[in-house]
Structure 1
């Protein structure tokens, strides 16, 4: 495990100064990474995808718990150093690690040496939701995930219809998986400490797809419905679909409702019509 001293030593060795642009806040608390791995419900057969491993704090906790770990890192110095850190800190499990130098938003299944069954990651706050949605779409083998994100983002990802914070991230993640919050994470476990609190989100992919409806069409309707939250569906979807009232009537949806009142199944019914 990497404690505060080891994290700062590695950062100094690499000349790393954490940047806001890459969303770099390195975890230096061993208890926190143990908590994350426990909450991920991994089995010895799981192949874990970690996005943004950084200096390797979480990676070292994942290696003994999984069959293999695929770490996707965008920063070359960090990606190049990670295998050495694994060999130094956990030589017994170091061979389980695969490091991919790439932007997670551009990763496809062809980029990976093995196909992951779970994602466990401390995600940069500014791209957390897009990364999760991209990977769930591109990697159908991903069956579950546990991600650490900004607390406000965690709330939105796990929100249910009718909530004030229910919105686009809630619906789009619900298309792929059932999500729920898995606990808070304080600021003092990071270096440097962020200006916001963090939270854990657990999600499990649906056993079978909710619908065969075109995903792009569905997501466009969701985006339109939440573009101006105070508007009714009739007003929000006008200009995006033809014959709004007739369409919503066929879907069995009240045109006076707002997007925040609809479940992903409701949005699917609209898209199918």
Structure 2
């Protein structure tokens, strides 16, 4: 494959050394790279944000379609390679950690009018969730995300109530977005090959008219606390974290139409919004 040869050649010629601290695994399969760009559904009116372009294998395919591409790369050694490879008015490269940036301010500084903003990224496994939550919570411009992540995390993010992968992360992501697993990616198409398989997840941010909790911070606290011990009753978890009286919590759950012995894994996003709204003034 052309992309595999390019990555291996760059490394072999000592133009770049892979750094484990950044979780670098470079995708080398041209068919998968093109498939990712197709899932992203971008056009000349789309501003694409690529997080961690690496050696630019995916960047090349994205620039074929996007009106403008804003890339964030934390590795200083990759900047000269990217600047040498991609020269043009529709490419902006920022050498910084995405978690340290104000994404919307960076977007506002661009000289480009867009219809939508799409994030595309091959995310390092160790920092997938913080990057996702930053994009979801900190930006009012991002409409869609197409992201590569560890298959296990992808299954959690897209899982439904009562499934084994369903947990607090499922709820946090699905509260803000509609998430679906687009396709799986084998570990063999990366250099170096990771120890696990990956997947591409498509996320679309929900409209402003989506039902929201009275207190979003408290909602997240309730969700996290409800899954502290997955096999415990929901009332027991809320008692152990907040000190809420179990009988009173079970009375509340029953009044909302749930079993007194219900576990957190049975509730969907809307259920947790309703529960947190009822519990906000609840006294132990």
TM-score by length of 2: 0.86
Matches within 5 A, 1:49-60: 49-60=49-60
**CA–CA separation in structure 1 for the residues paired with 2:43 and 2:261:** 47
Kindly state the Cα deviation for residue 25 of structure 1 after the two structures are TM-superposed: 0.3
Q: Which residue does 2:178 correspond to in 1? A: 178
Task: Tell me the alpha carbon deviations over residues 161-214 of structure 1, each in whole angstroms, 9 at most, x when there is no partner.
Answer: 110101122111101111111011112221111111111111111122331533
**CA–CA separation in structure 2 for the residues paired with 1:236 and 1:125:** 29
Task: Say whether the 8 Å CA contact 1:50–1:121 is kept in structure 2.
Answer: yes
Matches within 5 A, 1:116-127: 117-127=117-127
Per the alignment, in what secondary structure is the counterpart of residue 50 of structure 1?
Answer: strand
Q: Which residue does 1:68 correspond to in 2? A: 68
Q: Which residue does 1:232 correspond to in 2? A: 233
Q: Which has the larger radius of gyration?
A: 2
Task: Say whether the 8 Å CA contact 2:213–2:274 is kept in structure 1.
Answer: no
Task: Tell me the alpha carbon deviations over residues 123-144 of structure 1, each in whole angstroms, 9 at most, x when there is no partner.
Answer: 1111112211111111121111
TM-score by length of 1: 0.90
Q: Which residue does 2:275 correspond to in 1? A: 270
Per the alignment, in what secondary structure is the counterpart of residue 3 of structure 1?
Answer: helix
**CA–CA separation in structure 1 for the residues paired with 2:95 and 2:18:** 18
Q: Which residue does 2:262 correspond to in 1? A: 257
Task: Tell me the alpha carbon deviations over residues 2-21 of structure 1, each in whole angstroms, 9 at most, x when there is no partner.
Answer: 62222133335565332332
Task: Say whether the 8 Å CA contact 1:136–1:176 is kept in structure 2.
Answer: yes
| Matching of residue 48 in structure 1 with residue 43 in structure 2 | no
Counterparts in 2 of 1:52 and 1:241: CA distance versus 1, 3 Å? farther
83, 86, 89: which is aligned to 1:95? 89
Kindly state the Cα deviation for residue 79 of structure 1 after the two structures are TM-superposed: 2.9
Q: Which residue does 1:215 correspond to in 2? A: 216
**CA–CA separation in structure 2 for the residues paired with 1:56 and 1:11:** 13
Task: Say whether the 8 Å CA contact 1:11–1:55 is kept in structure 2.
Answer: no
Q: Which residue does 2:23 correspond to in 1? A: 23
Task: Say whether the 8 Å CA contact 2:99–2:134 is kept in structure 1.
Answer: yes
Kindly state the Cα deviation for residue 77 of structure 1 after the two structures are TM-superposed: 1.4
**CA–CA separation in structure 1 for the residues paired with 2:176 and 2:83:** 32
Per the alignment, in what secondary structure is the counterpart of residue 22 of structure 2?
Answer: coil
Q: Can you give the 5+ residue segments of structure 2 that lack an aligned partner in the other structure? A: 279-284
Task: Say whether the 8 Å CA contact 2:73–2:95 is kept in structure 1.
Answer: yes
Q: Which residue does 1:39 correspond to in 2? A: 39
Task: Tell me the alpha carbon deviations over residues 52-110 of structure 1, each in whole angstroms, 9 at most, x when there is no partner.
Answer: 111111111111211111111111111343122113xxxxxx32111112222222222
**CA–CA separation in structure 1 for the residues paired with 2:203 and 2:176:** 9
**CA–CA separation in structure 2 for the residues paired with 1:152 and 1:194:** 13
Task: Say whether the 8 Å CA contact 1:14–1:77 is kept in structure 2.
Answer: no
